[in-house]
Amino acid sequence: MKPFWVLNAWILKNSLRRGLRNPLRGILVVVVLMFLLGYLVGVPLATIFGSSDQPAPPLPAAGIRGFLFILILFHVALLSLPASAMIGKNAVVRESDVNFLFPSPIPRVQLFRTIILFRATISSIVSFMAVIFYSLLFGTKYVRAIPEFSLVLPPWFSVLYPVTFFCAAFGLAFAGTVTGANIVRGKWSKRPFIHGTTGLAAISLVLLVHHGLESLQSGESFFGGILAGLNHPVLYVILFPLRSMAEIALIAFMGWTPSVVGGLIFWPLFLALSYFVLVKNQEWLYDLGVHIAQRRTAAREQLGNPAEVIKRWVQKGVAKGSFRPRQVWLAEHWTPQGVWALLWRNHLIYWRLNRSTIMILDVIVLLSLFVLWYVHSVLGIEIQERLIVGILIGVQAIFVALTLGNGFITSMDIVKRMDMQKPFPFSPRLVIFVEVLHLVGIYALSTLLLVAATLLTFPDFAQVLTIAYLVGVSCLFPASLSILFLLFINPDMSDPVQRIIVGLLQLPVIALSVMPGLIPAALGVLLKLPLFVSGLSAIVANIVWTFILIELISRKYRHFNPAE
Amino acid sequence: MLSLSNVHKRFRGVHATNGISFEVRSGEIVGLLGPNGAGKTTTLRCVCGILRHDEGSIHIDGLDVVTQEVEAKRLMAYIPEIPNPYEVLTVREHIKFVAMCYGTVDTFNARIDELLSRFELKEKEHELVATLSKGMKQKLAIACAFVHDARVFLCDEPMIGLDPQGQHELQSELLRLRSEGCAILVSTHLLDTAEKLCDRVVIMQKGRKLSEGTLKELQAHARMDNSSLMDVFLHLTREAEA
């Protein structure tokens, strides 16, 4: 299997080399590496050797059982990854494996075992590290509290956890492969697995919530009830695989519990059995490989090429008769010329694809406002300000997420259709401005209805709401531009390094891009300036920052090479 | 009408085009030939403004494509090798959109029915682009090139994906444009077509211009009288490789 290891090493090496060759992308690669290294090394060190003069953190109220519950939830995510090693964009077999490795004389089981061991291990380790990373990042206080629990066994017993974890991960990957192979050959049906998993999840949820509510009724905490519910016999059986992993992770504090002993027997046996069944089913492995490689390619294409997603979606809709090129009133009656034609095109495409989503969201918001108004004005019940603000913030967050998600798709589309769009007689600055104007316009118009309705229903909030609306709209310009900038530097989503950069830096870059606008607003609040002054300074800062970003991005656009 | 003078384009130090110079005059079809990776597409992309060349100059009817980018682009029509039309627009809307970009909606209104018929898109005019086959998308891209009064046509492998009828129609259209005084630069691997269609050809290899001229001039250059363009092309490129 040497060629396989060499192949993967080359892919990673070439992707990194490609990343470092482009100066801007190289900086981002270094930033990402430093970010990861800094946290993966720095945070644990800070956690362990944190300043000793700081008081020891208080023990979490839920005690070790709280950790146990959180670890069970973690393992749902961690173990579903290897189990789904043969599904969707994360599937471990690729088209290139089918074309080049399958015809080679490497025995099937050996090939599949290596593919699973390598790729499923990598993804499991990455997920595992991500969990540790985020636990340390956001829960340092609680992680530092762990040593406060009394040790039942020497700490080195914890080494049993990674060993069991990889038994579980490989066992599930092999079992997932066997299941997939039998589904592809038509021997098994997918339905019982889906229904079984959903049913077990539903039973667990109902039982846990039931225990939580019972606890509330008896005057205790909801979470305490849920923790107590973990010992319910049915839940114990259903959650045993996950619970055993969680308890093994905490073995030094929990000792030799039945779950620990059971898990240490169960998972190695499961691994051996699933491998045995994999060997028995080896003749079907290539059929499965071909099937999942095709599905993976489709999923990957969708990930990196929104145009492809839209095309497939429309083709499917047209074939079923559910998608028709319906007319859009504004596009019918408005025929702008020049660069504004881009706005016309975006408007037409957007309304054909997303009209129902936006309308449903607006209707939900208006209905909730109507209910609030009815409760407040007709029934005379006092409505807390927090409730209205909460609803508005929630809805705005959904709209912002939708807009930025749409911004990602629009930006990818600009990158993919460069050959089509760039020969048009427009200056790059205007093109960038109009593309972003479309995104912000959608947000501004969609939320205008909401803002207007809230103003009419609760006029006391008029000033705050109007200023917040305008600041929000102005912030979306730099936020949308930042996505475009990131994608111009990393346009190829099939390149692993570029994908990691975009995935990891997307949120920090958006957050950074809105800072110039938010700093004056925050200063205004600190200096207790009138709200109007703070809001206006934020809007002005955003406008200036937007023009600077447009200038920078239009330069990237001008020199962008579609062959990248 | 179109002139390239000492055009260089580098990608991380590698010369994709290395000092290319040639002209396409009004009423002339020039073929851009070369093996894969010769720099044909890069040259066309530099001309139409998709890429910015590093050195040299490109002029369209006297307009510099860098300093007078927008004005120069108005005179050009580009047919890409792989068209990526907007799937959620209908065929008619797509052509209208391109006309709107060039500010020529009146031209669109006057020509649309004729264009749709000529490129066999009439039956599909209200269909979404997503439902078109690869060849029909190519025809749509070609139709889009005719909604403004371009004087320079840049075609990157325009015959690929077209059925024989479509190829014939496009060739007739290019000949008509030539007779109207347009300058046409066609990149192609189809040497038979180039021999019949082009007044002159430019042969490129590894970013450099190997040779330029009419078939007779190329035959003389290769000392291969009465040979086909294919034979001359193979001889010149092999000789340069050696």
Distance separating the N- and C-terminal Cα atoms of chain A:
32
For residue B30, give both structure tokens.
């020039």
3-state secondary structure B30-86: EEEECCCCCCHHHHHHHHHCCCCCCEEEEEECCEECCCCHHHHHHCEEEECCCCCCC
In sequence order, the β-bridge partners of residue B154 are B78, B185
In sequence order, the β-bridge partners of residue B213 are B201
Give the pLDDT confidence score for residue A469 in this predicted structure.
84
Dist CA A186 CA A182 (whole Å): 6
User: Considering only CB atoms, which residues of chain A are within 8 Å of chain B?
Assistant: 21, 307, 310-311, 314-315, 318, 323, 325, 331, 335-339, 341-342, 344-345, 348-349, 352-353, 416-420, 422-427, 558-559, 561-563
Please compute the mean of the pLDDT values over residues A343-350 and round it to a whole number. Answer: 85
Burial of A401 (0-12, 13-18, 19+ CB in 10 A): exposed
Dist CA B175 CA A437 (whole Å): 42
- pLDDT category at A448 given cuts 50, 70, 90 is confident
Name the residue facing B101 among A310, A315, A341 (closest C-beta).
A341
Sorted by sequence, the CB contacts under 8 Å of residue A469 that are 6+ apart come out as A447, A448, A451
Hey, are the CB atoms on B130 and A314 less than 8 Å from each other? yes
Q: What is the CA radius of gyration of chain B?
A: 18
Hey, are the CB atoms on A561 and B51 less than 8 Å from each other? yes
The answer to whether residue A295 scores a pLDDT higher than 60 is yes
Dist CA B169 CA B162 (whole Å): 10
Q: Chain B residue with minimal CA distance to A345?
A: B97
Give the pLDDT confidence score for residue B32 in this predicted structure.
93
Distances (CA, A) of B199 to B28, B156, B214, B216, B237: 6, 17, 6, 11, 20
Contacts of B74 in chain A (CB under 8 A): 425
* Domain locations in chain B as residue ranges: 2-75+150-241, 86-148
The answer to whether residue A167 scores a pLDDT higher than 80 is yes
- pLDDT category at A459 given cuts 50, 70, 90 is confident
pLDDT digits (tens, 9 = 90+) for A510-564: 888 888 888 888 888 888 888 888 888 999 999 999 999 999 999 888 888 766 6
Hey, are the CB atoms on B100 and A335 less than 8 Å from each other? yes
**Is B234 part of the contact surface with chain A (CB cutoff 8 Å)?**
no
Q: Chain A residue with minimal CA distance to B49?
A: A423
For residue A110, give both structure tokens.
């050996």
pLDDT digits (tens, 9 = 90+) for A11-70: 777 777 777 777 777 887 787 777 767 666 665 565 555 554 555 555 555 567 777 888
Dist CA B232 CA B195 (whole Å): 11
Hey, are the CB atoms on B87 and A310 less than 8 Å from each other? yes
pTM value is: 0.68
Contacts of A339 in chain B (CB under 8 A): 101
Q: With beta carbons less than 8 A apart as the criterion, state whether A558 and A428 touch.
A: yes
Give the pLDDT confidence score for residue A300 in this predicted structure.
61
Give the pLDDT confidence score for residue A89 in this predicted structure.
58
Q: Chain B residue with minimal CA distance to A561?
A: B51
Name the residue facing B89 among A21, A315, A349 (closest C-beta).
A349
Contacts of A561 in chain B (CB under 8 A): 11, 51
Name the B residues in 20-39 with CB < 8 Å from any A CB.
none
Q: Chain A residue with minimal CA distance to B105?
A: A337
Dist CA A201 CA A184 (whole Å): 25
Q: With beta carbons less than 8 A apart as the criterion, state whether B90 and A350 touch.
A: no
Distance from CA of A2 to the nearest CA of B (A): 32
Please compute the mean of the pLDDT values over residues A239-257 and round it to a whole number. Answer: 88
0.85 surpassed by complex ipTM: no
E strands, A94-148, are none
Contacts of B149 in chain A (CB under 8 A): none
Distance from CA of A366 to the nearest CA of B (A): 30
Name the residue facing B97 among A341, A418, A561 (closest C-beta).
A341
In sequence order, the β-bridge partners of residue B203 are B33, B211
**Is B14 part of the contact surface with chain A (CB cutoff 8 Å)?**
no
Dist CA B73 CA B49 (whole Å): 8
For residue A427, give both structure tokens.
């200056």
How many CB pairs lie under 8 A apart between chains A and B? 102
Give the pLDDT confidence score for residue A262 in this predicted structure.
93
Pick the residue of B128, B138, B152 with the most A CBs within 10 A to test the interface with A by mutation.
Answer: B128
Helix axes A285-304, A160-184, angle to 10 degrees: 100
Contacts of B101 in chain A (CB under 8 A): 338-339, 341-342, 424-426
Sorted by sequence, the CB contacts under 8 Å of residue A255 that are 6+ apart come out as A152, A153
**Is B57 part of the contact surface with chain A (CB cutoff 8 Å)?**
no
Please compute the mean of the pLDDT values over residues A384-402 and round it to a whole number. Answer: 72
Dist CA A25 CA B111 (whole Å): 46
Closest alpha carbon to B121 in B111, A341, A319, A318: B111
Give the pLDDT confidence score for residue A60 in this predicted structure.
55
The answer to whether residue A384 scores a pLDDT higher than 70 is no
**Choice among A146-150, A155-159, A240-244 with the minimum mean pLDDT:** A146-150
**Highest mean pLDDT range out of A15-29, A180-194, A240-254, A277-291?**
A240-254
- Tell me the three state secondary structure of residue A232: coil
Q: Which amino acid is at A245?
A: M
In sequence order, the β-bridge partners of residue B4 are B22, B58
Residue ranges of chain B whose pLDDT lies below 50? none
CATH 3.40.50.300 fits domain B2-75+150-241: yes
Give the pLDDT confidence score for residue B23 in this predicted structure.
92
Give the pLDDT confidence score for residue A309 in this predicted structure.
61
Dist CA B60 CA A329 (whole Å): 39
Please provide the DSSP assignment of A293-360 as one string.
HHHHHHHHHHHH-HHHHHHHHHHHHHHHT-------HHHHH----TTHHHHHHHHHHHHHHHHHHHHH
